[in-house]
Amino acid sequence: MEKINTLKMKGVTRRFGNTTALHDFHLEMSGGQFVTLLGPSGCGKSTALNCLAGLLDLSDGEILLNDRPIQDVAAEKRGFGMVFQNYALFPHLSVERNVGYGLELRRVPKAEREKRVRSALELVHLAEFGKRYPGQLSGGQQQRLAIARTVVLEPALLLLDEPLSNLDANLRNEMRIELKRIHSELNLTTVYVTHDQSEAMSLSDIVVVMRNGHIEQIGSPQEIYNQPKSPFVAHFMGYINRLPATILGKENGYWLIETANGTQLLGSSTNEETNWQPGQKVVALIRPDETIAEPQAETNRLIGHVQLVEYVGRAYESLVLLTGQGGTQLLAHSGRRQNSGDQIEISIDPDRLLLFSADETENIESTLMQSEPKVRVER
């Protein structure tokens, strides 16, 4: 198999009739990287993956493997391996035969085949299960078998389409760690598709956030999480609280804003070129887990009354009706259980109070069906 030094998708577009599932998609990765395509249902993640795999023809653009175009190379000649959501295992073949099947087709001699099957099963911790059948394995074991069956062929690129979506939450977390381990042991260039932001954050070197067939932002997990460039990315990363405000000016490198009841707060823009004038309408986006209930500091405070409290493990999440803010509610985290009706003070670090212009923040929910907050936040 040709080793990957660089893999580039340049201007890749794929149309289905009148629908453009993928539009002018640009992605560059280097050998060994773990790249995740992240976004809500229908944003074009699988289309991008299938174009890369060769399972879909491109309507436009090119794919370059080590600077050589491969968009016209048939899927089976690209030397890539794909793991599907439903695993696609052979139920009538033993675990060993499932893993060895691709090698048999390639007429790999028996001794070498057995050696490679053994080491693939060891890699996914299924060495003792070789004689079983897929039906006798748990969901997580079946998933690991699907991975072993693909990596035994030593693909240049591993493509994974929502591989954990059929597993329950505990197994998903376990398999996430397994995937990370397998990736670092093999140093195999990987493209992973998911709509789960925490999966993307924990696994990836590069995250590509997609929306409506476009790329919204590419960056490291830290960049995407801390510096979302658009309200869509911010919302997708859990910045679900919204607080309308007006720009007053700049202070100490932050933007000074005024909310509906005249409270002044400091906040940040993730876009260095932002040049707002006083009077500009903005919306502050805040993550519930980045609020500080009952703060020590005097600055950047909001006051409200607790309406609902939910235990979310390690913290309580309170729905707070802010005082004098036109009915705006905010989800806030607190180490101590609040009671319904309690007055509560909340502060937010100015670096974690992200400002976007008000017109940018319209209509983001319609494309975010899968990441709706548990409690709807009123505007």
The residue (of 53 and 282) whose beta carbon lies closer to ligand ATP is: 53
Distances 78 to 50, 53, 75, 132, 161 between C-alpha atoms, Å: 12, 8, 5, 31, 18
User: Is the Cβ of residue 41 or residue 136 nearer to ligand ATP in the bound state?
Assistant: 41
Judged by CB under 6 A, which stretch of 35-43, 144-152, 296-304, 310-318 contacts ligand ATP? 35-43
For ligand ATP, which residue of 46, 190, 268, 291 counts as binding (CB under 6 A)?
A: 46
Binding mask 139-178 for ligand ATP (x = CB under 6 A): ----------------------------------------
What is the C-alpha separation between 248 and 260, in angstroms, rounded? Answer: 13
Instruction: Rule CB under 6 A: choose which of 33, 36, 47, 291 binds ligand ATP.
Output: 47
**Whole-angstrom Cα Rg for the chain:** 24
Quickly count: other Cβ atoms within 10 Å of residue 349's Cβ. Answer: 17
In angstroms, rounded to a whole number, what is the distance separating the alpha carbons of residues 11 and 22?
9
Contacts of 228 (CB under 8 A, 6+ apart): 217, 234, 236, 237, 239, 270, 354
Name which position in 6, 41, 136, 299 contacts ligand ATP (CB under 6 A). 41
Q: Which of residues 261-300 bind ligand ATP (CB under 6 A)?
A: none
- Each residue 177-216 as x (binds ligand ATP by CB under 6 A) or -, in order, gives ------------------x---------------------
Query: Minimum distance between the CB of residue 195 and ligand ATP, rounded to whole angstroms?
Result: 5
Measured over the CA atoms of residue 282, residue 286, residue 292 and residue 297, the dihedral's sign is: negative
Residue from 5, 6, 19, 86 in contact with ligand ATP (CB under 6 A): 19
CB-nearer residue toward ligand ATP: 195 or 287: 195
Q: Judged by CB under 6 A, which of 4, 12, 43, 265 binds ligand ATP? A: 43
Taking the least distance from each CB to ligand ATP, the nearer of 204 and 347 is 204
**45 or 352: whose CB is closer to ligand ATP?**
45
Residue 27 as a binder of ligand ATP (CB under 6 A): the answer is no
Q: Using the rule CB under 6 A, is 329 a contact of ligand ATP?
A: no
By residue count, the chain amounts to: 379
Considering the rule CB under 6 A, would residue 21 count as an interface residue with ligand ATP?
yes
DSSP structure class, residue 373 = -
| Strand ranges in the chain using DSSP code E only, listed in sequence order | 6-16, 19-30, 34-38, 60-65, 68-69, 80-83, 157-161, 189-194, 206-211, 214-219, 241-251, 254-259, 264-267, 281-286, 291-293, 301-311, 316-322, 329-334, 343-348, 354-357
Residues in contact with ligand ATP by CB under 6 A are: 16, 19, 21, 39, 41-47, 195
